[in-house]
């Protein structure tokens, strides 16, 4: 390979690798009784020494009580369960122990009969019943008792998992949970929205769970997506990660509502999340647990509901896997979109920077190429290659060459993190790659940038064409690829089926659409009217193309890409670097280039790094 006068430094921070299965179950406690009613009592005992209030719900089915957790939080009350016609002795004794003065019964007489009311009154407890004609109107009755502002959370009333996943978070944020059916909004719910001027809604689930006609009742809606209840559970936790600590978590069966219902009040009290576990290992859940710091696991329910072996499996990292909140992706969509000059896998950082200085102390290095940095100590591992579109997976770094050390540009390649095994993936060339599981997804230069996939081993027999359109940018989320082709956003499954248009600009001139980023189950993209001489605008929409919002108006450079990190959008306009929130608010200036040539910037561990052809590297604490 032929050296260039330019130098690219690739800094590597490698904290740990996994070559065998690792068992790492944190401290754990189980809260359980002989049945769901006793389990609810045990949960109350573990969280409350005394409570003036308690919530009573029917233990035979889930509908009425799904929205009750915010009410329990308001009154610092446990949730206890009852049979329809009789309050068990152990539940009565628990209310006496708590010195409870007032009970809210959630649900009508068909769920909790008047005989339960009489039992409560016989032990000198005031009873208030919250009920409507159905589960949907009951959720409205509960909401009316809360101290809320102008926002609600909308969940399906046809299953319990989504409501209980978000219940502790909603409770701590004082946001009511309203239950709705899939295809319409009940009159009582519409009246509540109008009466209390509710203009914001977070909707859990896509249009297959709750249809899009609900959007018309709010000025601003956000959806939380996932292919099933376990993916939505983790999507909720990722979206609201600042609302709780993962030092302590509660785990419950995703197939039995009662334990999670009673546990949701305790989780809210402890400001901890509820994580739903399937009887077969859900990778999305195990990967989440491997990526966050958990010190204590509280298991809700008995062995039959959630076995200790199953919980242990969720905290066991399989052989040859690397724990990461990014699941099985080699890098995030946002980082690849920004050029892929760095990638982060948990605490492991890889950086490719087109300057001849290290980022740690700005000292010049004598040799160029790929540099390994461990605890601040630079070590050269190769001087043969440099690149971008960095994807880290297992023992390998996947990238595309940038031509600085040879005449090859955009050649898909891989190299081991110890500097050995430099290999081209066939002769495939691409301006963008994303590695997921055992596949590399890329835009094939030899076929007009149409999208392909090929195995990470480069076997020619695995090479598969996915799209007929010429693409300019793509992101992958779950089983879907979102890509731009001819100023239109498409989606297609990773197996090449289900190709669908999800957004197409209506104005003829709006045909310069680039830089697509998926972040927290929404799409962000830049768009410029070619009739305009000013910069690009930044837009956001849902994954189905709905709820299009302009976040930044004509303030992105045509040549610069934006990216998103920790709920902030970073972009360039002119020679300045800006940061704004993911809602397009609170724009501030972070730095300024003296030249736009070779200008690069990114954020690593709370620091902004940037430089250009005429700038020495600069770092700014965010």
- What value does the mean pLDDT take over residues 250-255? 95
pLDDT greater than 90 at residue 84: yes
- What value does the mean pLDDT take over residues 33-45? 96
Residue of 324, 318, 262 lying closest to 292 (CA atoms): 324
Q: Which of 55-64, 105-114, 345-354, 463-472 has the lowest mean pLDDT?
A: 345-354
CB within 8 Å of 362: residues ≥ 6 apart: 616, 617
Q: 3-state DSSP helix/strand/coil percent for the chain, to nearest 5? A: 20, 35, 40
Please report the pLDDT score of residue 8 as a whole number.
32
Q: Which of 33-47, 160-174, 376-390 has the lowest mean pLDDT?
A: 376-390
pLDDT greater than 60 at residue 510: no
- What value does the mean pLDDT take over residues 172-176? 95
**Cβ-contact 90, 37 below 8 angstroms:** yes
pLDDT greater than 80 at residue 533: no
**Cβ-contact 40, 18 below 8 angstroms:** no
Backbone angles phi, psi at 114, to 5 degrees: -65, -20
Residues of the chain above pLDDT 70, percent: 77
Alpha carbon distance 350, 368 (integer Å)? 15
More reliable by pLDDT, 346 or 597:
597
More reliable by pLDDT, 495 or 466:
466
For 260-280, what is each residue's pLDDT tens digit? 999 999 999 999 999 999 998
Segment holding 515, helix H or strand E = strand 512-519
Q: Which of 52-66, 297-311, 332-346, 601-615 has the lowest mean pLDDT?
A: 332-346
Please report the pLDDT score of residue 486 as a whole number.
82
- What value does the mean pLDDT take over residues 312-323? 65
More reliable by pLDDT, 348 or 441:
441
pTM of the model: 0.56
Alpha carbon distance 135, 475 (integer Å)? 39
**Cβ-contact 502, 494 below 8 angstroms:** no
Residues of the chain above pLDDT 90, percent: 44
**Cβ-contact 346, 323 below 8 angstroms:** yes
- What value does the mean pLDDT take over residues 484-504? 89
Please report the pLDDT score of residue 23 as a whole number.
46
Please report the pLDDT score of residue 522 as a whole number.
87
pLDDT greater than 60 at residue 354: no
- pLDDT-derived band at 358, boundaries 50, 70, 90: very low
Please report the pLDDT score of residue 2 as a whole number.
36
Alpha carbon distance 473, 469 (integer Å)? 12
- pLDDT-derived band at 117, boundaries 50, 70, 90: very high
Alpha carbon distance 275, 306 (integer Å)? 12
Question: 180 vs 139, 185, 512, CA distance in Å?
Answer: 9, 6, 39
Q: What tokens does 249 get?
A: 């978590």
Which sequence spans correspond to the domains of the chain?
1-17+323-429, 22-317, 472-622
Backbone angles phi, psi at 263, to 5 degrees: -70, -20
Supply the DSSP symbol for 346. Answer: T
- pLDDT-derived band at 461, boundaries 50, 70, 90: confident
Residue of 133, 119, 123 lying closest to 96 (CA atoms): 123
Please report the pLDDT score of residue 507 as a whole number.
63
Backbone angles phi, psi at 244, to 5 degrees: -155, 170
- What value does the mean pLDDT take over residues 494-520? 77
Residue of 568, 556, 551, 560 lying closest to 608 (CA atoms): 568
Beta strands (DSSP E) in 364-487 are 369-374, 377-382, 387-393, 396-402, 409-416, 423-429, 433-436, 439-444, 450-455, 464-470, 473-477, 480-485
More reliable by pLDDT, 281 or 41:
41
Please report the pLDDT score of residue 98 as a whole number.
98
Q: Which fold has domain 472-622?
A: Neuraminidase (2.120.10)
Please report the pLDDT score of residue 127 as a whole number.
97
- What value does the mean pLDDT take over residues 319-326? 40
- What value does the mean pLDDT take over residues 507-531? 72
Q: Which of 96-105, 109-118, 153-162, 312-321 has the lowest mean pLDDT?
A: 312-321
Please report the pLDDT score of residue 173 as a whole number.
94
């Amino acid at each position: 390979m032929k050296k260039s006068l330019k130098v690219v430094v690739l800094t590597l921070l490698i904290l740990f690798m996994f070559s065998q299965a690792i068992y790492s179950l944190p401290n754990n406690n189980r809260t359980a009784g002989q049945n769901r009613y006793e389990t609810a009592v045990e949960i109350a005992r573990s969280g409350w020494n005394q409570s003036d209030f308690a919530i009573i719900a029917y233990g035979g089915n889930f509908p009425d009580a799904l929205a009750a957790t915010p009410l329990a939080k308001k009154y610092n009350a446990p949730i206890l369960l009852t049979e329809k016609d009789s309050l068990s002795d152990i539940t009565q004794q628990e209310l006496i122990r708590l010195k409870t003065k007032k009970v809210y019964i959630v649900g009508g007489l068909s769920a909790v009969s008047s005989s339960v009311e009489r039992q409560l009154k016989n032990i000198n407890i005031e009873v208030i019943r919250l009920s409507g004609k159905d589960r949907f109107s009951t959720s409205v009755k509960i909401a009316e008792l809360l101290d809320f502002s102008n926002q609600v959370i909308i969940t399906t009333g046809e299953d319990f998992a989504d409501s209980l996943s978000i219940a502790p978070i909603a409770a701590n944020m004082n946001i009511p949970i309203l239950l709705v059916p899939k295809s319409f909004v009940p009159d009582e719910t519409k009246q509540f929205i109008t009466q209390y001027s509710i203009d914001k809604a977070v909707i859990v689930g896509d249009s297959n769970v709750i249809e899009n006609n609900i959007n018309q009742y709010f000025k601003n809606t956000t959806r939380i997506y996932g292919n099933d209840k376990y993916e939505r559970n983790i999507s909720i936790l990722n979206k609201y990660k600042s609302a709780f600590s993962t030092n302590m978590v509660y785990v419950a069966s995703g197939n039995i509502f009662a334990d999670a219902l009673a546990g949701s009040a305790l989780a809210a009290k402890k400001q901890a999340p509820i994580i739903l576990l399937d009887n077969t290992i859900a990778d999305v859940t195990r990967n989440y647990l491997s990526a966050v710091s958990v010190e204590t696991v509280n298991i809700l329910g008995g062995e039959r509901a959630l076995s200790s072996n199953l919980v242990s499996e969720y905290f066991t990292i399989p052989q040859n896997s690397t724990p990461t909140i990014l699941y099985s992706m080699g890098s995030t969509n946002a980082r690849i979109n920004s050029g892929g000059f760095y990638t982060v896998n948990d605490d492991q950082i890889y950086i490719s920077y087109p300057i001849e200085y290290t980022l740690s102390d700005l000292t010049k290095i004598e040799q160029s190429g790929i540099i390994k940095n461990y605890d601040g100590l630079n070590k050269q591992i190769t001087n043969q290659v440099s690149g971008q579109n960095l994807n880290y997976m297992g023992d390998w770094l996947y990238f595309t060459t940038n031509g600085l050390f040879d005449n090859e540009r955009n050649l898909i390649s891989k190299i081991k993190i110890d500097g050995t095994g430099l290999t081209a993936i066939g002769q495939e060339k691409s301006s963008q790659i994303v590695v997921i599981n055992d596949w590399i997804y890329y835009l094939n230069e030899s076929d007009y940038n149409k999208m392909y996939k090929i195995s990470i081993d480069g076997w020619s027999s695995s090479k598969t064409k996915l799209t007929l359109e010429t693409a300019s940018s793509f992101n992958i989320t779950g089983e879907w690829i979102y890509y731009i082709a001819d100023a239109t956003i498409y989606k297609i499954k990773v197996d090449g089926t289900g190709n669908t248009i999800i957004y197409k600009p209506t104005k003829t001139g709006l045909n310069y659409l680039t830089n697509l980023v998926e972040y927290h189950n929404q799409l962000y993209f830049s768009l410029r009217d070619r009739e305009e001489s000013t910069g690009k605008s930044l837009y956001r929409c849902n994954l189905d193309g709905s709820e299009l919002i302009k976040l930044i108006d004509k303030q992105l450079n045509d040549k610069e890409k934006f990216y998103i990190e920790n709920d902030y959008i970073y972009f360039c306009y002119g020679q300045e670097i800006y940061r704004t929130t993911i809602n397009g608010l609170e724009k501030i200036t972070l730095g300024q280039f003296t030249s736009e040539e070779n200008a690069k910037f990114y954020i690593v561990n709370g620091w902004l790094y940037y430089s250009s052809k005429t700038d020495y590297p600069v770092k700014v604490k965010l």
